[in-house]
Amino acid sequence: MSLALYASHEHQSRGRRYPEPSPGLRGEYQRDRDRIVHSTSFRRLEYKTQVFVNHSGDLYRTRLTHSLEVAQIGRTIARILSLHEDLVETIALAHDLGHAPFGHAGQDALDVCLKDHGGFEHNLQALRVVDELEERYASFRGLNLTFESREGILKHCSLAHAAALGAVGRRFLEGGQPSLEAQVANLADEIAYHCHDADDGLRSGLITLQQLREVMLFREPYEEVVRLYANLPERRVIHEVVRRMVNRQIVDLTEASAARLQRVNPLGSEEVRQQAEPLIGFSPSMVKQNHELKQFLRVALYGHYQIRRTAAKVGRLIGALFDAFLADPYLLPPQALLDLQEREDSAGVTGRAQAVGDYIAGMTDRYAILEYKRVLDPSI
Ligand code: MG
C-alpha cells in the first residue's frame, strides 16, 4: 500500500489512550478494525433499523449491511486517492455503533428523554461505545482505539459536549478538519444511504420509479439503462440504475477531491487538519444533485405517512421504557442496575438518566420491542 504524503501514516499516529505494544503482524488501524468487528455493538447492528424497521422485511438494509456498504465504498475511494484504507474501513464500520434502536426515530425519542441530562447524539454515543461501553479487555474500558479512528467516529458533536472530550473534540471548538480518511468515510456514508434508501424505497413501494425519475441523479442513469436494454425487467433496471448512481458519485468525488488535493497540496495529515474546509468533496454539480435527491427522500420516503406512523409508535415505546426504568431502576436486569448505581453514585440523577439511556441505546429493535412487552404489557 503506497500512501500519499497527506494520508494518515501509522508512524505519525497520535496513539491510543492507554499505551499498548505494537500489534506485530497487523497495522495499528487494522487492529482497530478487528476490534470493531469483534465487538458486541457491531453484532447488534444486524438488528437495528436503517430506514425500515428490522422486522418489516428481510431484504432491506440494516445498520450492519449499511455499514458494510459504507466500508466498501470508502475503501474504493481511499485506494484511488492513496489514503489509508484500513483507517477508512475502521471508521466506516464503527460510524453507526452509537445508533439507538429504530434509527432516527429512536434517537430523537432518546434525545427528548435525556434533554435535561445532555441529550442524546448518536455520533457521541458511538465514541462512548468504543471508549467506555464495550467491555472486552482486562486493563482498560472500551476498545482503546487510536486517536485517528476515534476522531473519525466523532463526525459531529455539540459544543457543550466537545469541551469535555479533550483532543478529539477540539476541532469542534477551534475549527479545523479531521483526517482525509475520516472525510472519505463521511461521504461514503452519504453515497451509500442516498443510493440504498432509493433502492429500498422502491422495493417497499412507498416511492415509485415515476417519482424518482424527477430526480436528476436517478433520471440520467435511468435513461441510459432503458436506452441500452429494451424490455429489461424492472428489478434489474433498478439495480443497473442504483449501481450507476454509486459509481457516478465515486468518480465525481475522487476527481473533485484529487483536483483539490493537488491545488492545496498539503504536506501531511496535520496540514489537512488545519484547513478551513474539507478537502474531500463532490463537484458543485454533484453537490446540487445530491441535495435534490436528499430533499426528495426527506419528503417522499422519510416523510411518508407509513414511515411516520412507525416512527411515532417506536418513539412512544422508547419514551415509555425510559420513564419506567428511570422511575424504578429495579426493573432493570442485574448488570444494567449495577451500572446505573455506579453512575448515580458519581453523577446523581444525570448519571441515573444516562445509564438508562445507554441501556436503551444499546438495544436492537427486536430486543426493545421484547423489553417493552416484558416491562409494560401485563398479559405476558
Ligand atoms: Mg450511516
Considering the domain architecture, whether residues 189 and 321 belong to the same structural domain is answered as: no
Q: Tell whether 338 is covered by a domain.
A: yes
Average confidence (pLDDT) over 113-134: 96
Q: Tell whether 1 is covered by a domain.
A: no
Considering the domain architecture, whether residues 181 and 292 belong to the same structural domain is answered as: yes
Quickly tell me which residue has 467506555 as its cell.
Answer: 132
Query: Do 67 and 41 meet the contact criterion of CB atoms below 8 Å apart?
Result: no
Considering the domain architecture, whether residues 224 and 337 belong to the same structural domain is answered as: no
Q: In the chain, what percentage of residues exceed pLDDT 70?
A: 100
Query: Do 359 and 342 meet the contact criterion of CB atoms below 8 Å apart?
Result: no
Q: What predicted TM-score, i.e. pTM, was given to this entire model? A: 0.96
Sign of CA dihedral 8, 13, 17, 20: positive
Q: Tell whether 89 is covered by a domain.
A: yes
How far is ligand 1, taken at its centre, from the CA of residue 190, in Å?
7
Helix (H, G, I), strand (E, B) or coil at 302: helix
How far is ligand 1, taken at its centre, from the CA of residue 183, in Å?
13
Report the distance separating Cα 326 and Cα 329, nearest Å: 6
Q: Tell whether 226 is covered by a domain.
A: yes
Considering the domain architecture, whether residues 217 and 343 belong to the same structural domain is answered as: no
Considering the domain architecture, whether residues 293 and 316 belong to the same structural domain is answered as: no
**Chain-wide mean pLDDT for the chain?**
95
By C-alpha distance, which of 194, 347, 187, 312 is closest to 257? Answer: 187
For the segment 174-207, what is each residue's pLDDT rounded down to a tens digit?
A: 999 999 999 999 999 999 999 999 999 999 999 9
232 versus 380: which is more confidently predicted? 232
How far is ligand 1, taken at its centre, from the CA of residue 349, in Å?
31
Residue 347 belongs to domain spanning: 311-376
Quickly tell me which residue has 426504568 as its cell.
Answer: 325
**pLDDT grade, residue 115 (50/70/90)?**
very high
How is residue 99 annotated by DSSP? P
The C-alpha angle with vertex 190 and arms to 189 and 191, in degrees rounded to 5, equals 95
Q: Tell whether 3 is covered by a domain.
A: no
How far is ligand 1, taken at its centre, from the CA of residue 240, in Å?
23
Report the distance separating Cα 156 and Cα 188, nearest Å: 16
Q: Indicate the number of domains in the chain.
A: 2
Domain boundary among 305, 328, 358: 305
Considering the domain architecture, whether residues 285 and 210 belong to the same structural domain is answered as: yes
Considering the domain architecture, whether residues 205 and 120 belong to the same structural domain is answered as: yes
Residue 45 has pLDDT above 80, yes or no: yes
Report the distance separating Cα 151 and Cα 351, nearest Å: 25
How far is ligand 1, taken at its centre, from the CA of residue 345, in Å?
35
Quickly tell me which residue has 477531491 as its cell.
Answer: 257
By C-alpha distance, which of 123, 42, 94, 100 is closest to 357? Answer: 100
For the segment 137-146, what is each residue's pLDDT rounded down to a tens digit?
A: 999 999 999 9
pLDDT the model gives residue 57: 79
pLDDT the model gives residue 51: 81
Average confidence (pLDDT) over 145-156: 97
Domain boundary among 275, 305, 335: 305
How far is ligand 1, taken at its centre, from the CA of residue 104, in Å?
11
Considering the domain architecture, whether residues 242 and 281 belong to the same structural domain is answered as: yes
Up-side HSE of residue 123: CA atoms within 13 Å toward CB?
A: 18
Considering the domain architecture, whether residues 92 and 195 belong to the same structural domain is answered as: yes
How far is ligand 1, taken at its centre, from the CA of residue 66, in Å?
7
How far is ligand 1, taken at its centre, from the CA of residue 248, in Å?
20
Residue 220 has pLDDT above 70, yes or no: yes
Report the distance separating Cα 222 and Cα 155, nearest Å: 33
Beta bridge partners of 16: 146
52 versus 4: which is more confidently predicted? 4
Helix (H, G, I), strand (E, B) or coil at 142: coil
376: which 3 cell numbers? Answer: 409494560
For the segment 4-30, what is each residue's pLDDT rounded down to a tens digit?
A: 999 999 999 999 999 999 998 999 999
Kind and range of the H or E run holding 157: none
Domain boundary among 254, 278, 305: 305
The whole-angstrom distance between residue 279's C-alpha and the CA centroid of its chain comes to: 20
How far is ligand 1, taken at its centre, from the CA of residue 99, in Å?
9
Q: Tell whether 158 is covered by a domain.
A: yes
How far is ligand 1, taken at its centre, from the CA of residue 17, in Å?
26
Q: Tell whether 201 is covered by a domain.
A: yes
**pLDDT grade, residue 59 (50/70/90)?**
confident
Report the distance separating Cα 59 and Cα 38, nearest Å: 24
How far is ligand 1, taken at its centre, from the CA of residue 46, in Å?
13
Report the distance separating Cα 90 and Cα 289, nearest Å: 28
pLDDT the model gives residue 56: 77
Residue 55 has pLDDT above 80, yes or no: no
How far is ligand 1, taken at its centre, from the CA of residue 330, in Å?
34
Give 202-251 as a DSSP string: HHHTSS-HHHHTTSHHHHHHHHHHHHHSTT--HHHHHHHHHHHHHHHHHH
Considering the domain architecture, whether residues 130 and 251 belong to the same structural domain is answered as: yes
How far is ligand 1, taken at its centre, from the CA of residue 32, in Å?
19
Considering the domain architecture, whether residues 281 and 151 belong to the same structural domain is answered as: yes
How far is ligand 1, taken at its centre, from the CA of residue 331, in Å?
32
Considering the domain architecture, whether residues 286 and 167 belong to the same structural domain is answered as: yes
Backbone angles phi, psi at 313, to 5 degrees: -65, -50
How far is ligand 1, taken at its centre, from the CA of residue 185, in Å?
9
Residue 70 has pLDDT above 90, yes or no: yes
- 106 Cβ contact partners less than 8 Å away, ≥ 6 residues apart: 49, 99, 100, 314, 315, 318, 368
Angle between the 305-327 and 365-376 helix axes, to the nearest 10 degrees? 50
Q: Tell whether 5 is covered by a domain.
A: no
Report the distance separating Cα 320 and Cα 312, nearest Å: 12
Residue 352 has pLDDT above 70, yes or no: yes
> In this structure, what is the dihedral angle of CA atoms 92, 93, 94, 96, given to the nearest 10 degrees?
80
Report the distance separating Cα 91 and Cα 138, nearest Å: 24
Residue 1 has pLDDT above 70, yes or no: no
Which CATH number is 153's domain given?
A: 1.10.3210.10
